[in-house]
Structure 1
């Protein structure tokens, strides 16, 4: 591990003690170069913690548990007025530059400034974040559950809740059973989907889906051969070929929702004639079309009612020192969500 210096929070910012963080493919994609980011950068964006210092002008108290979210919303731009359909414009610019929403970095290393990852940089025991990057939750929500709400559930669950607008009784299929895909599965079940089909090439992930109670867990070939057609199809792989397959498996009049983030050079082919004749829709969904302060309380209510058991997505608990091995395990498909816990004593 490397020790970094962390500046005090500026007006509108918070110093948060990170209580739990998890390893997501969006972190891995920066390491692999699929998503180029300015370096050096402190990774980690799916996390939860406790406010230990509040900058001038903030509204949340010291001691408040918060979920850290990876796209701050300014609340003022045209995109923020779309109700979650479009990502915040200033927030997206800040994330791309590796700075906080107010500009600049609060992290410094031996060679100078260190960039923030998606406004969070949660692979550390503390983080300075913009208040618009957090959502308060009750202390009854454990830190590990809260961490998963900030990315996996907002993205996968939000895709079902917001971008797809799943109605009770509709059939749902999910291609790609990582943390995001399985969050979509759980949310579909919680919202009363008529049937839920889980699709992946990894036998272990299909087994996990069966344990969660899906109606069917299939390989892509099995899904095609079965003639599956789902009203709502969520693609959570992040490959153009997976999106093409998802469109094929979508029923006439249905909706394909893609949340995966392939390499920028990838391109998918589609048949305009088939799209029109089926009356189908293809929807891109960033952060699940979520507004974190609107939607995280919804997911907390589902979790509290026992209908959204996100704890079942936690496949391993690791120390921060194990982060490199965790990245390897994630790349190999051996893990769903690896939770980093911190010993603050």
Structure 2
């Protein structure tokens, strides 16, 4: 029987905040599982939807960083069983397109996650008999969610739900940007612009990779203090003079620069922060229609590279268990990343805290 769940719903353009409403979550069909949510991260991508920066079908059940327990499995499910603890991936792969076949699910061309739909083109959620759309086909700010089997990755039971939820987006994105995309070489210098949730995960990834020095740049001193605890060796206050500050610390500029905010002005600063032959990585996602001015001559003459990082080039079935193992072995201090916990009823307070520039990550617990 379908379950009725309480969920944080964005009713559409012009809506002020989220409403806690009841949604009907259907039983899992073939190749699908029903998950009882244990925790959901509060991510900047959710805020983009809430603030009208991105256009999505509505009503939208927000949340895409989720972890929980499998409650039911549909026909044909082979990798999961009732009782398994799972992390959700917000970009389930179709497993059939050329990119998936080549082992690049982060650029899958057959997934319907961006439409907030299951592979068959339907939604697993309803409100008052009409479809509701779980954000990125997850909708983790709901007590229950039905997702494709490949969107739920089993992890060890010892990983707390609130930590597991963050592995599904910010941790995989940040660490993956370092390890998979930039392929950082030990001993090389790096600057991270933006010490929010994803930026802090980039810093942890850089520490894991052996980068040195690791420079965190942000406008909030409290965020920079947390960055130091998570691996930054130096901190600077961001401003128009950021490239000069980076050169003062490194001599000729950093070998790597990561932008983790999605702010066009700071993305444009990255090439000037680099030494010759350096690599700039765009990790933060800007609002729609936000072009960035880049000095192409400087890039070419300096032999500099500009990379776009989508989900840290993550292969969820491979990488989520690896990240969970690094956490359990003390290599990724993810507990320190969580600085505030909210009940579902207080979800709007969580977003207001994010807008105020709060350090670390907030999570919704169920």
TM bin (shorter chain): over 0.9
Per the alignment, residue 67 of structure 1 pairs with: 87
CA RMSD of aligned residues (A): 1.5
Structure 1 runs (4+) deviating above 3 angstroms are: 81-86
Q: 1:284 & 1:219 partners in 2: Cα distance?
A: 24
What are the Cα deviations for residues 281-303 of structure 1, in whole angstroms up to 9, with x where unaligned? 10101101111112122212321
Partners of 2:320 and 2:22 in 1: CA distance: 32
In structure 2, what is the equivalent of residue 275 of structure 1?
299
**How far apart, in 2, do the equivalents of 1:337 and 1:110 lie?**
33
Specify the alignment match of 1:136 in structure 2: 154
SS of aligned partner of 1:299? helix
* Alpha carbons 2:156, 2:324 under 8 Å: kept: no
Q: How far apart are the structure 2 equivalents of 1:101 and 1:242?
A: 36
Comparing 219-228 with 145-154, greater Cα deviation is found at: 219-228
- The CA distance in 1 between the partners of 2:106 and 2:64, in whole Å, is 20
The superposition leaves residues 127-185 of structure 1 with CA deviations (integer Å, 9 ceiling, x where unpaired) of: 10111111110101111111110000111111001110112112121111111110000
CA change 1:256–1:85 in 2 (3 A) is farther
Cα separation, 1, equivalents of 2:41 and 2:345: 13
TM-score by length of 1: 0.95
User: How many angstroms apart in 2 are the aligned matches of 1:190 and 1:17?
Assistant: 32
Task: Decide whether the 8 Å contact of 1:158 with 1:288 is kept in 2.
Answer: yes
Whole-Å separation in 2 of the counterparts to 1:139 and 1:282: 39
1:95 to 91, 98, 113: 113
Give the corresponding residue for 1:41.
60
Q: Hey, what's the Cα distance between the residues in 1 that align with 2:176 and 2:301?
A: 28
Deviations 1:170-229 (A, max 9, x none): 212111111111000011101211221111111211121123241101112364333152
Q: What pairs up with 1:257-296 in 2 under 5 angstroms?
A: 257-296=281-320
Q: C-alpha distance in 1, partners of 2:174/2:361?
A: 13
Tell me the distance in 1 between the aligned counterparts of 2:57 and 2:116. Answer: 6
What is the TM-score with the length of structure 2 in the denominator?
0.89
1:31 is matched with 50
Deviation for aligned residue 1:320: 0.3
Q: Please, which of 153, 157, 162 is the counterpart of residue 175 of structure 2?
A: 157
Q: Whole-Å Cα distance in 2 between the matches of residues 162 and 213 of structure 1?
A: 19
1:250 pairs, out of 259, 274, 282, with 274
Decide whether the 8 Å contact of 2:184 with 2:209 is kept in 1: yes
Match of 1:11 among 21, 25, 30: 30
Q: Which residue of structure 2 lines up, in the alignment, with residue 311 of structure 1? A: 335
Report the Cα distance in structure 2 between the residues aligned to 1:43 and 1:268, rounded to whole angstroms: 28
TM-fit CA distance, 1:86: 5.0
- CA pair 281-233 structure 1, distance change in 2 beyond 3 A: same
What is the match of residue 321 of structure 2?
A: 297
Q: Secondary structure at the match of 2:215?
A: strand
3-state DSSP of counterpart to 2:46: helix
